Amino acid sequence: MTDNLDNAIPTPACGGEDPGQIKDHFDLFHTDTYQDLFEYKRQFEGAHSRETVEEIAEWTKGWEYREKNFSREALTINPAKACQPLGALFVAAGFEDTLPYSHGSQGCVAYFRTHLTRNYKEPFQAVSSSMTEDAAVFGGLSNLKAGLENSYTLYKPKMIALCTTCMAEVIGDDLGAFITTSKNEGHIPEDLPVPYAHTPSFVGSHITGYDNMLRGILKTLTKDEKAETTNGKFNFNLGFDPYIGNIRELKRILSLFGVDYTILSDNSDTFDSPNTGEFKMYNGLTTLADTADSINAEGTVFFQKYTTPKTQEYVAKDWGQKTYNFRPFGIKGTDEFLMALSAITGKPIPLELQQERGRAVDALTDSQAWIHGKKVAMYGDPDHVLGLIQFLLEMGAEPTHIVVTNTNEDFEAEARELLTSSPYGQGGTVWGGKDLWHLRSLMFTEPVDLLIGNSYGKYLWRDTGTPLVRIGYPIFDRHHMHRYATFGYQGAINQFNWIVNTILDELDRKTIVPAKTDISFDLIR
């Protein structure tokens, strides 16, 4: 036990003769050999003195730095947003046998595939036009014709969902005309649906791309499909929601209700397919037939208002359909959704869900004391953040710094209204258009108890020592989070579990040093 007195990282007894003892980067570089090597290397680095680094590090934590940081106008540092095509490919992959296709330089699609793969630990298949300098000069038509023909022949999709990159947008490629030409020249069959969306990175963010592509797909597939009567079904769309557990939870709730539904972009299997020993290229679950028929539904329910504005407008205007927006996160959010669903469909709220509600409330009540009054910083997409604020308020936590890079005025107004509606939200401030380096200043000058966000938040966790609950996209450094629901009563329990147990973990860490801090190293909490 005495070895632990300083709470130093113990050096495992590795190396030597035993080939069973292998040190990887976690241990190897902490050994004296490597520590000496790093020290020796410093002489060539032209580095600043340790005192200077320490002094500047302290300066970055203060108010003066915060003001400087918030006065920048041209520079963005660690933004909490990605670009349009990521969202476009994400939504496209939820449809049956659909090949997501990015028209432009191939580097973009390599990045999109990598990013999605790293979050889900699942294959993500998408192609590009592989445009190079000649396309920059002459346009991308010949690349697109060849690209469509090759990908159709090789990968046999039922639909190719086409989005653009910056390059294609800046050179002004006309996708609609290009697709028609490709069909007329016989590169792909006339009847192959090729919905498209303009998705330059210099407009909006990944959620804008989601909206553009979803609308493109619906427009293409529902053309001439309007029937005299409705099909009695309801459409549901989750938006750019990284939790495939949410789609499955929604389907379970709808089955319990006995509601007939179509999920617009069901990518739950795309991002969580079974390992059977065979690789299946397409796993999108929304069939093209159901999508075509979605124009005849009774109504369409959206769970991400700020992710899908254009699609909602299109569904309301062009389809003449009633649209709904719900945010079934936490208890109240789920209550509102279930009551509305019951009212809309005329079906009672299933007993099983009522019991679940009771269990969720019970769990919240049991643990709320650990959360009450805790100040929370958070960042993410507008809809995602609103769901979190709502849930935190009903648990008695205090949302404090709310950073949304891909913001808009409507969202900010709604977020402020939500905050002022609760005594726990009075200290909350919404920072639209800001990034994670702004958040760093906020967290140093006005510290909080907890940070909620994606994996990029781990740098803020390191710098400020604020415990991080990973909720959002992407989560690269914790496994399997996407399988859980954050939606409905089950989702409330899951999120609550992550939050309260992070706080308890932190308490254990703070009380761990024997004879120094371990006075309240309690077994029972």
Residues 459-498 close enough to bind other proteins by CB under 8 A: 459, 463
Figure out which of the listed residues 88, 92, 93, 108 binds other proteins, where binding follows CB under 8 A: 108
User: Footprint of other proteins on residues 399-438 (CB under 8 A)?
Assistant: 437
Q: How far is CA 299 from the centre of its chain?
A: 26
For residue 73, state whether it binds other proteins (rule: CB under 8 A): yes
CA dihedral 243, 163, 270, 478 (to 10 degrees): -40
- Rounded to an integer, what distance in angstroms lies between the CA atom of residue 244 and that of residue 61? 38
Residue 181 binding other proteins, by CB under 8 A: no
Q: Which is nearer to other proteins, 196 or 261 (CB)?
A: 196
**Among residues 179 and 218, whose Cβ is nearest to other proteins?**
179
Of all helices (H) and strands (E), which one includes residue 377?
strand 375-379
- Sheet arrangement for strand 322-325: 261-263, 234-237, 299-302, 322-325
Question: Quick count: other Cβ atoms within 10 Å of Cβ 233?
Answer: 18
Backbone angles phi, psi at 300, to 5 degrees: -130, 130
Tokens representing residue 330 in the block: 């936490």
By CB under 8 A, the residues from 202 to 231 that bind other proteins are 202-203, 205
The nearest distance, CB 188 to other proteins, in angstroms, is 10
If DSSP codes are grouped into helix, strand and coil, which group holds residue 258? coil
Q: Which of 485, 468, 500, 507 is nearest to 363 (CA)?
A: 500
14 is catalytic: no
| Residue 72 or 317 with smaller CB distance to other proteins | 72
Separation CA 159–CA 289 (nearest Å): 12
Q: Is 382 near other proteins (CB under 8 A)?
A: no
Least distance in angstroms from the C-beta of 419 to other proteins: 27
Q: Work out which of 5, 56, 177, 369 binds other proteins, going by CB under 8 A.
A: 56
Per CB under 8 A, does 304 bind other proteins?
no
Q: Answer yes or no whether residue 125 interacts with other proteins by CB under 8 A.
A: yes
Binding of residue 189 to other proteins (CB under 8 A): no
Strand 450-453, strand 468-470: pairing: parallel
Stretch that binds other proteins, among 2-10, 107-115, 251-259, 358-366 (CB under 8 A): 107-115
Q: Which of 22, 339, 369, 413 binds other proteins (CB under 8 A)?
A: 22
Nearest Cα to Cα of residue 211 among 414, 382, 403? 382
Instruction: For residues 228 and 205, give the distance between their C-alpha atoms in angstroms, rounded to a whole number.
Output: 38
At 347, list the tokens: 């079906």
Q: Which of 5, 64, 68, 373 binds other proteins (CB under 8 A)?
A: 68
Residue 456 found at the interface with other proteins (CB under 8 A)? yes
Round the CA-based radius of gyration of the chain to a whole number and report it.
26
Which neighbouring-strand residues pair with 321?
none
From the list 103-111, 289-297, 330-338, 348-356, the region that binds other proteins by CB under 8 A is 103-111
- A 10 A CB-CB count for 130 gives 18
Question: CB 499 → other proteins: shortest distance, Å?
Answer: 25
Measured between alpha carbons, how far is residue 227 from residues 142, 297, 299, 313 in Å?
38, 10, 14, 20
Identify which range of 238-246, 273-281, 491-499, 503-511 contacts other proteins by CB under 8 A.
Answer: 273-281
Residue 11 is a binding residue for other proteins (CB under 8 A):
no
Catalytic residue among 108, 163, 166, 301: 166
CB of 264 to other proteins, least distance (A): 25
Separation CA 350–CA 255 (nearest Å): 10
Residue 275 engages other proteins in binding (rule: CB under 8 A): yes
Interaction between residue 197 and other proteins (CB under 8 A) = no
Stretch that binds other proteins, among 117-125, 224-232, 331-339, 494-502 (CB under 8 A): 117-125
Which amino acids are annotated catalytic? 166, 170
